[in-house]
Amino acid sequence: MDAFRPYPLFSPPTPVADRPPRDRTAGDARLYFDWLTGSLPDRTRDLVAFFHLDHADLAPRDLLLALGERVAEELTSAGGSSQTRAGERVLTSRGHALAADMGLLIAALILELADGGIRWHIVDAPRGDRSFNLPVLTGFADELVLDPIAASIAEATGLIAGRRGPDAWARMLDFWTNPHLLPPP
């Protein structure tokens, strides 16, 4: 990891980046969905390459454990988080991008490991849903839904607060790929 090498920020298209998800139209939600799912391969590849790892050389859980160590180091540095006046640590734009990309990587791994049945979906109701107008993964047992970016940002926030460890993303993958949650092949 090179602390001076910039990490690409998580920058959705301008029309949707300027509005909170609840204020977006269905067209905005589709634009964001297309941008996110279209950028997923490049962002996840670049995430792994940024930390000088090779996705092909590691099992999914091992990849997340190795990345988790490096991402945790970055998130707890001045590049990944900063301290507010109240003393709380918050993610910087760089930290937010790293966390979002870890969520995208987990989504890609789940889709790969599930071998069908899990799919992307835009939450279009109810309007009060935390993931309204955002892409989520569906198809899990018990009608569970995963917003991989929000979940990963929550893990990153817990990590910088000292409530999570670098294995948070590997544990997230373990949970969401539990055979009891995945649809039958």
Look at residue 4 in the predicted model and tell me its pLDDT.
52
Q: Tell whether omega for the bond before 41 is within 30 degrees of 0, i.e. cis.
A: no
Tell me the mean pLDDT per 10 residues along the chain, length 185. Answer: 72 89 93 97 95 87 97 93 92 96 98 93 92 96 95 98 97 96 84
Tokens of 69: 């160590």
Look at residue 184 in the predicted model and tell me its pLDDT.
81
The SS3 assignment for 120 reads: strand
pTM of the full predicted structure? 0.94
Tokens of 138: 């569906």
**N residues, the chain:** 185
Q: Provide the residue ranges of all domains of the chain, joining segments of one domain with +.
A: 15-176
The gap between the terminal CA atoms of the chain, to the nearest Å, is 38
Look at residue 2 in the predicted model and tell me its pLDDT.
47
| Beta carbons of 4 and 94 less than 8 angstroms apart | no
Among 107, 105, 98, smallest CA distance to 157 is for: 98
Look at residue 30 in the predicted model and tell me its pLDDT.
96
The SS3 assignment for 38 reads: helix
